[in-house]
A and B are shown apart, each in its own frame.
Chain A
Amino acid sequence: MFLLTSCEDKQKHPEPLPSDSIFNLSSQWKNQYGDSLYLKDLQGKTLVVVMIYTSCKTACPILVSKMKSIESKIAKKDKRDVSLVLVSIDPETDTPARLHEFAKTNQMSDPQWVFLTSNESSTQEFANVLSMKYKKISPIDFSHSNIISVFSPDGQLVSQEEGAIDVDKVVLTLHETVQKSK
């Protein structure tokens, strides 16, 4: 009886979000299945986050392959506790359908893969949260910084790898973050 009450209490009064959590952002997103969601809906799993656009021919394929490499190196027991999130910096082109197609083509259809697209303003805000720089340099091309970020299950930034990203370092951080949150 006591246990039940305690559980109920916990549900009614969830712990407040840390002040520096990305889940404080109120922007609305769509995933590759067209479902509307808030960043807060990603709460509870350790997140690996990268910003890309699907028509990119230069650095993004490298970033995508790094994300896939990270995913392949996650320890089996950690897999259920991790989401790999690819956020589009080109919301105009990257519709949910296009993201879905992109996921299929790149064999990223398993449930741990989350693709997000929103509008220009929310995208810019999110890029600023990641301290990521980007600029549209033509209707189909963007310049952008290459950053892979790891967030704790309550949305706090754990680490960022920028430039020539060391996959093994990200995997290690990821493992430590999952362990800590268990």
Chain B
Amino acid sequence: MSIGLMSCSNQENNPVEEKSFADHFSGTVQNTRVNTAMAYIPGGEYKPFYGSDTSLVKVEPFLLDERPVTNGEYLDFVKSNPAWQKSNVKRIFADTAYLHNWSSDTTLPEGANADAPICNISWFAAKAYAESIGKRLPTLDEWEFVAMADATSPNARSKSEYSDRIIDLYLQKNRQFNPVKHSPPNYWGVYNMFDLIWEWTDDFNSILTTGDSRSGQYEDKSLFCAGGATSATDILNYAAFMRFALRTSLKADFTVANLGFRCARDTVVHLNK
């Protein structure tokens, strides 16, 4: 409980005084079919928390949903895509806990807020949702690039309070039941990167370490080809480490009570795709 209070007071002590990127840039994009504004992320180079080596990774410009996909939006999706209703979903695409708390195929859980993020969905389901509205899931690098921002700067990783604040948020229980966009956005105008849920990324399966290897070492290097090429580069950032540990423990059909997603899109439409 004291953790929650600390986090709240942190927010009050750090009002958004500097002009954020979102104030300067008015180019948010409305999706014609789903009314989620997208933030333009100009991309750039960043150093992954966990990656192949210490070299920088280039992130191309892209658009990211300003908030996670909600219960209400996912309900609309399953209504028009019956194959993704909980009694119809193929077991290979989602485990038995998929939407397990829903009252029926087309009824949200009792008492659920339609504006709270959808959880209990698999990677396959998230991907299908994104494709149904002409979007895609953000890549791990895209998500982490945006996650480097705090309210006032695009890269707050060197600030000690940045990681502390995220860990405080991560420790709060049942935060996934709260509605989206009720906390301040980050520098890019993106909401709820940390305070409600964990999020699927498109290539969550690209981290070549096992979920059990908390020391950052591999128990069995023969599990991976070229496995020795990956290691932690920012071990002090424990919040990021928690995200990577979670991702390595996931399988694409898993559904988790506080794991949801948001969508992304290329800035350029590739007609060949």
- With CB as the reference atom, state the residue of chain B lying closest to A131: B251
Interface residues in A145-159 (C-beta closer than 8 Å to B): 145-146
Q: Does A38 contact B (CB under 8 A)?
A: no
Given A135-B206, A143-B229, A19-B224 contact (CB < 8 Å): no
Q: Does A112 contact B (CB under 8 A)?
A: no
Distance (Å) between the CB of A128 and the closest chain B CB? 3
Given A128-B124, A135-B203, A143-B92 contact (CB < 8 Å): no
When the two chains form the complex, which single residue of A24, A131, A141, A146 contacts B90, counting CB atoms closer than 8 Å? A24
Count residues of chain A with CB under 8 A from any CB of chain B.
31
CB 8 Å contact bits of A14-40 with B (1 = contact, 0 = none): 000011111011000000000000000
Q: Specify which chain A residues have a CB less than 8 angstroms from the CB of B92 in the assembled complex.
A: 19-22, 24-25, 129
Distance (Å) between the CB of A72 and the closest chain B CB? 22
Contact in complex: A143, B203 (CB < 8 Å): no
Q: Does A132 contact B (CB under 8 A)?
A: yes
Contact in complex: B225, A143 (CB < 8 Å): yes
Q: Specify which chain B residues have a CB less than 8 angstroms from the CB of A129 in the assembled complex.
A: 92, 252
Distance (Å) between the CB of A165 and the closest chain B CB? 9
Q: Specify which chain B residues have a CB less than 8 angstroms from the CB of A134 in the assembled complex.
A: 205-206, 208
- Comparing A3-11, A52-60, A96-104, the segment that makes contact with chain B is A52-60
CB 8 Å contact bits of B147-159 with A (1 = contact, 0 = none): 0000000000000
Q: Specify which chain A residues have a CB less than 8 angstroms from the CB of B52 in the assembled complex.
A: 135, 137, 143
Contact in complex: B205, A143 (CB < 8 Å): no
Q: Specify which chain A residues have a CB less than 8 angstroms from the CB of B93 in the assembled complex.
A: 24
Contact in complex: B220, A163 (CB < 8 Å): yes
Q: Name A's interface SS.
A: mixed
Distance (Å) between the CB of B55 and the closest chain A CB? 10
Q: Specify which chain B residues have a CB less than 8 angstroms from the CB of A145 in the assembled complex.
A: 208, 223-225
Q: Specify which chain A residues have a CB less than 8 angstroms from the CB of B220 in the assembled complex.
A: 163-164
Contact in complex: A19, B91 (CB < 8 Å): yes
Contact in complex: A146, B206 (CB < 8 Å): no
Q: Does B41 contact A (CB under 8 A)?
A: no
Q: What is the CA–CA distance of A129 and B205 in the complex, to the nearest angstrom? A: 11
Q: Specify which chain A residues have a CB less than 8 angstroms from the CB of B251 in the assembled complex.
A: 128, 131
- With CB as the reference atom, state the residue of chain B lying closest to A137: B52
Contact in complex: A146, B205 (CB < 8 Å): no
Interface residues in B149-177 (C-beta closer than 8 Å to A): none
When the two chains form the complex, which single residue of B90, B91, B222, B230 contacts A143, counting CB atoms closer than 8 Å? B230
Given A128-B124, A133-B205, A135-B208, A143-B223 contact (CB < 8 Å): no
Q: Specify which chain B residues have a CB less than 8 angstroms from the CB of A144 in the assembled complex.
A: 208, 224-226
Q: What is the CA–CA distance of A21 and B92 in the complex, to the nearest angstrom? A: 6
Q: Does B227 contact A (CB under 8 A)?
A: yes
When the two chains form the complex, which single residue of B90, B123, B127, B208 contacts A133, counting CB atoms closer than 8 Å? B208
Contact in complex: A146, B229 (CB < 8 Å): no
Distance (Å) between the CB of B253 and the closest chain A CB? 8
Q: Specify which chain B residues have a CB less than 8 angstroms from the CB of A56 in the assembled complex.
A: 225
Contact in complex: A163, B222 (CB < 8 Å): yes
Q: Specify which chain B residues have a CB less than 8 angstroms from the CB of A59 in the assembled complex.
A: 224-226
Contact in complex: A143, B252 (CB < 8 Å): no
Contact in complex: B223, A131 (CB < 8 Å): no
Q: Specify which chain A residues have a CB less than 8 angstroms from the CB of B64 in the assembled complex.
A: none
Q: Specify which chain A residues have a CB less than 8 angstroms from the CB of B207 in the assembled complex.
A: 133, 135
CB 8 Å contact bits of B240-261 with A (1 = contact, 0 = none): 0000000010011000000000
Contact in complex: B252, A137 (CB < 8 Å): no
- With CB as the reference atom, state the residue of chain B lying closest to A20: B91
Q: What is the CA–CA distance of A22 and B91 in the complex, to the nearest angstrom? A: 10
- Ranked nearest first, the 6 interchain pairs of A and B with the lowest CB-CB distance are A59-B225, A128-B252, A135-B206, A19-B91, A20-B91, A163-B223
Query: What are 7 A-B contacts defined by CB distance under 8 Å?
Result: A18-B91, A20-B91, A24-B93, A129-B252, A142-B225, A144-B226, A145-B223
Q: A58-B226, A143-B224, A145-B223 are in contact. List 4 more A-B contacts (CB 8 A).
A: A19-B90, A59-B226, A137-B229, A145-B208
